[in-house]
Amino acid sequence: MPDTATKSSTAVAEDRSKAPGAGEPAAQPQAETDGFQLVIDALKLNGIDTIFGLPGIPITDLTRRMQKDGLRVISFRHEQNAGYAASIAGFLTQKPGVCLTVSAPGFLNGVTALAHATTNCFPMILISGSSEREIVDLQQGDYEEMDQLAIAKPLAKAAFRVLHAEDIGVGVARAIRAALSGRPGGVYLDLPAKLFPQSMDAEAGRKSLIKVVDPAPKQIPASDAVQRAVDLLKTAKKPLIILGKGAAYAQADADIRTLVERTGIPYLPMSMAKGLLPDTHEQSASAARSYVLPEADVVVLIGARLNWLLSQGKGKTWGGATPKAWGGQKFVQIDISPQEADSNVRIDAPVVGDIGSCVSALLKAIGPNWPKPLAEWIGAITERKTKNVAKMAETLAKTPSPMSFQSALNVVRDIVRGNPDAMLVNEGANALDFTRSIVDMYKPRKRIDVGTWGIMGVGMGYCVAAAVVTGQQVIAVEGDSAFGFSGMETETICRYNLPVCIVIMNNNGVYRGDEKNPTGGPDPSPLVFVKDARYEKLMEAFGGVGVHVATADALRKAMEDAIRSRRPTLINAVIDEGGGTESGRITSLNPAAKKKA
């Protein structure tokens, strides 16, 4: 057997060391590999270089051997955070992020992130060890017994189980294809404990592996669909482009920018599409959002769904007379999923394909001399923008004590402007909404946040992944409640010595910190936390830097120090506990708040 064929196989090396000594009959040792090794080799063969996980039965040895074989294994304190890390690594790299967990409870902890990946269209693979099939299926009470495959199925884009070592190559290949092709999503790969020690001939094992060719094939849009879109766009008097996180994921940055600039059409970035063009771009209509949505007549959606984040494409936000009424806009929708069109309102010109191919086809079809939108439309937008920006500048210039969300975020805004390559992680309610509108982004895929579900808990997992896969400085703006969901990963951040600067907008609670128990009893309101909690000490406990700040100047200095040193830092920023609103900007979705209004 040629040496090169099995170089990566430690099992083979171990076999060789047991080869008969001199003088013994020269029996050729049977080179063998095993399930552990084949999983590692299959992942490496497909360019997976980082695993986010948490060890234990039956995957402890797998994590050791992965590290020994040169995979970077990032070990977390809770699987949900490892899962969120994997999901966002997938978004940032266009390679499936891999999360590795133990069975039953570890698996379930990872499942939230798996569902999150599917919902957000991020490519991710959750690999969980599982208990003995025969016992699980007869429900005879195995250690961590659970039918994991059945549970994962409805929450994943696809789910597979591998029972035999010779099928590991196919299992990993299928998982990679399912995660990456078409609309990306979360994939579950179930690896029962018994699979890992199964041994097989090393050469046969090597041959069983598959290097996936073209895992995210281009999907070229049909030329008639492109022409239909161009024809519709030609009729527009008040066109608008909306860029979503699908556009950010697609990494077609140059063509998207050319499309926006060549057509001169104003655009709105969804939160994770901020920076695809710099937020300071003159065609950005962000500061006039509530004007352009109801006023536009033809809207081009690029990798953005008309879900709740866009008020389902109808109702008052879009100029409809009632909450469910159509506002009269016509839509072009560029999306890789052929089922997305018409999910909420009529899509007059669906363009189905990958965003890179679709945008380049559109560019060809519109040619070099596309007429710019009417001056009245651009002028009206500019007028609103100028007014709103001036109003915002006034608020940002204030330095109240205690700090307001705005005065603190004015500092973050400056720091991000000075460090446009830094990754910005953001979660919370007010802490999220104010940051999204105040902090400008300058480059693509720099802002990662709560996503489609608006969930809390992604923060620290995202910080770890962003630092690990980009190597850039990470700045996390966290609500104090949001931070609590994953705060223990500050230890992980310190352990791997990651350049993460966490800024907690500490207003003592969920939305606000001044709620009272209406009964006057001793329990606090369900919405508030320990007053003036010293979150910065958590970071100090693990050897990082903790800073408590009460002024904008102190916040600025602490952030500058963090970025200069690249040390793990947690800045506890004291914010006016009465400065937030219920649910931030989505008060209207809150039944109780609506009744009050």
For residue 190, report the phi and psi dihedrals to the nearest 5 degrees.
-95, 120
| Position 466 contacts ligand TPW (CB under 6 A) | no
Q: Is 190 helix (H, G, I), strand (E, B) or coil?
A: strand
Q: How far is the CB of 506 from ligand TPW (least distance, A)?
A: 8
CB of 209 to ligand ADP, least distance (A): 27
| Distance set, CA 383 to CA 23, 316, 377 (Å) | 93, 22, 10
The only residue of 205, 244, 275, 584 in contact with ligand ADP, by rule CB under 6 A: 244
- Per-position x/- string for 536-575, each x denoting binding to ligand TPW as judged by CB under 6 A, each - no binding: ----------------------------------------
For residues 406 and 36, what is the distance between their CA atoms, to the nearest angstrom? 52
Minimum distance between the CB of residue 426 and Mg ion, rounded to whole angstroms? Answer: 13
Is residue 507 a contact point for Mg ion (CB under 5 A)? yes
In the complex with Mg ion, the residue whose CB is nearer, 35 or 479, is 479
CB atoms within 10 A of CB 218: 9
CA distances from 424 to 229, 366, 383, 491, 562 (A): 34, 35, 30, 20, 14
514/540 with CB nearer ligand TPW? 514
Backbone angles phi, psi at 421, to 5 degrees: -85, -10
Selection from Mg ion, ligand ADP, ligand TPW, none that 335 binds (CB < 5 to 8 A by kind) is ligand ADP
Contact 113, 91 (CB under 8 A): no
Residue 381 interface partner, choices ligand TPW, ligand ADP, Mg ion, none, CB cut-off 5-8 Å depending on type: none
Strand (E) positions, 32-87? 32-34, 50-53, 72-75
* Comparison of 78 and 512: residue with beta carbon closer to Mg ion: 512
Applying CB under 6 A, which part among 107-115, 241-249, 377-385, 580-588 lies near ligand ADP?
Answer: 241-249
| Token pair in block for residue 560 | 């500058």
Binding mask 456-495 for Mg ion (x = CB under 5 A): -----------------------xxx--------------
Restricted to residues 477-516, the positions that interact with ligand TPW (CB under 6 A) are 479-482, 505, 507, 510-511
Residue number with CB closer to ligand TPW (43 or 412): 412
Q: Which tokens sit at 229?
A: 């879109």
Binding mask 277-316 for ligand ADP (x = CB under 6 A): --------------------------xxx-x-x-------
User: Of residues 93, 131, 430, 452, which one binds ligand TPW by CB under 6 A?
Assistant: 430
Q: Encoding tokens for residue 408?
A: 């603190």
User: How many angstroms separate the CA atoms of 477 and 480, rounded?
Assistant: 10
Say which residues have a Cβ less than 8 Å from residue 265's Cβ, sequence separation at least 6.
Answer: 239, 240, 241, 283, 300, 373
Q: Counting contacts by CB under 6 A, is residue 181 touching ligand ADP?
A: no
If you search the block for the tokens 């009959």, which residue do you land on?
25
Q: Find the part of the chain contacting ligand ADP (CB under 6 A) among 6-14, 133-141, 239-247, 470-478.
A: 239-247
CB 325 within 8 A of CB 315: yes
Binders in 340-379 for ligand ADP, by CB under 6 A: 340, 354-355
Work out how close the CB of 486 gets to ligand TPW at its nearest, in angstroms, rounded to a whole number: 10
Q: 165: which DSSP letter?
A: G
* Of 479, 476, 465, 484, nearest in space to 569 by CA: 476
Q: Quickly count helices (H) and strands (E) in the chain.
A: 23, 19
First to last CA, the chain: 77
Return the half-sphere exposure (C-beta side, CA atoms, 13 A cut-off) of residue 394: 6
Residue 133, binding choice from ligand TPW, ligand ADP, Mg ion, none, Cβ under 5 to 8 Å by partner class: none
Q: How crowded is residue 225: how many other Cβ atoms within 10 Å of its Cβ?
A: 18
Partner interacting with residue 429 (select from Mg ion, ligand TPW, ligand ADP, none; CB below 5-8 Å by kind): ligand TPW
| The entry of Mg ion, ligand TPW, ligand ADP, none that residue 255 binds, CB within 5 to 8 Å by partner kind | none
Asked if 331 is part of the footprint of ligand ADP (rule: CB under 6 A), the reply reads no
Cβ–Cβ under 8 Å, residues 506 and 480 = yes
Q: Name the residues that contact ligand TPW, by CB under 6 A.
A: 428-431, 454-457, 479-482, 505, 507, 510-511, 580, 584
Q: Name the residues that contact Mg ion, by CB under 5 A.
A: 479-481, 507
Q: Name the residues that contact ligand ADP, by CB under 6 A.
A: 120-121, 183-184, 244-246, 249-250, 270, 272-273, 303-305, 307, 309, 335-337, 340, 354-355, 452
